[in-house]
Amino acid sequence: MNIRIIHWNISYNGDIDNKIIFLKKHIDSNTIICLQEVQKSIYEKLQTELKPDFNTFSLEQRPPGKYEGKNRRLGVCIMTYSYKLLEFKLANRSIFPERTNYIYVSNGNSTFGIFSFHSITGCDYKKAKSSNFASIADFIESNEIDFFTCDANEPDYDFLDEKKLIFNNNRDKGKNASLLFGSNRVHKMNDSLRDYYKQNNFGSNNSPIEVSYKTKTKDKRYDFIYYNSIKWKIQDLKYDYDNAIIAGSDHAMIIGDYKKI
């Protein structure tokens, strides 16, 4: 059994039509797409144009309130092909539940969970960001998850050796981000890119290993697919920054292909 996982923060800016064209190029059978910064109107167009077997959208479970601002109108969408939905829920203990999305699915031969989230930014929220990482770590540890994808807004410096990771100090010296991404993480899943590099004897002393987002001063790898390496093997993995930017986002698209062990 093979599966393709696509992760992409599509950005609320830019032409959605170009983003849909770019997505269509990568959809295969047994594909699951995880998208962040999705507005309600965009979600409706994605459904119409991409025609998934089923889709879930976090703002359907946690709609923005009447007086809440634009930051509560960006959700996480998951679309699947060749799978049946068994469960859909949000990480309700997180600070922005609508920026999370968990599904449990089946294709008749296998069942598994996939979780996607979009971290809040430390420049706006600081301590809230670190607290949110702790809540998400609890959620991942408490649910059956084979894959999780995220735009983490972390780390500050990324290295092939995960012991060297440097996280932002959101009033916790990076402690709670390390619960998810560091060598002392509380879950048992692996960073797909690090495993893919090791599997193919790639090496890099650069920071970041791959670029998924660019600030004015630094190139970052903020986007991840983590996976259960006991149950799945990586076949191929690509961070496509250049084409994703041309399509209208400000983040790379990650395309990961996995084979059930």
* Residue 39 binned pLDDT confidence (cut-offs 50, 70, 90): very high
Hey, how many other C-beta atoms are within 10 angstroms of the C-beta on 255?
20
Query: Token pair 């100090």 is at which residue?
Result: 169
pLDDT for the residue 207: 66
| Core vs surface per residue 87-112: b (16+ CB within 10 A) or e | ebbbbeebbbbbbbbbbbbebeeeeb
Pull the structure tokens for residue 142.
């408490």
118-164 tens-digit pLDDT: 999 867 777 999 999 999 999 999 999 999 999 999 999 999 999 99
Query: What total number of domains does the chain contain?
Result: 1
pLDDT for the residue 1: 84
pLDDT for the residue 184: 87
Mean pLDDT within 29-42: 96
4-26 tens-digit pLDDT: 999 999 999 989 999 999 999 99
Alpha helices in 51-191 (DSSP H): 58-61, 122-125, 127-142, 175-181
Q: What is the pTM of this model?
A: 0.96
Domain with 143 in it? 2-260
Q: Could you tell me the end-to-end alpha-carbon distance of the chain, in angstroms, rounded to an integer?
A: 8
pLDDT for the residue 202: 86
* Residue 171 binned pLDDT confidence (cut-offs 50, 70, 90): confident
Using the predicted structure, report yes or no on whether residue 57 has a pLDDT greater than 90.
yes
CATH of the domain at 135: 3.60.10.10
Looking at the chain, the whole-number percentage of residues with pLDDT higher than 70 is 98
pLDDT for the residue 91: 98
pLDDT for the residue 122: 65
201-230 tens-digit pLDDT: 887 667 668 999 999 999 999 999 999 999
The alpha carbon of residue 64 and the mean position of all alpha carbons in its chain are separated, in whole angstroms, by 21
Looking at the chain, the whole-number percentage of residues with pLDDT higher than 90 is 87
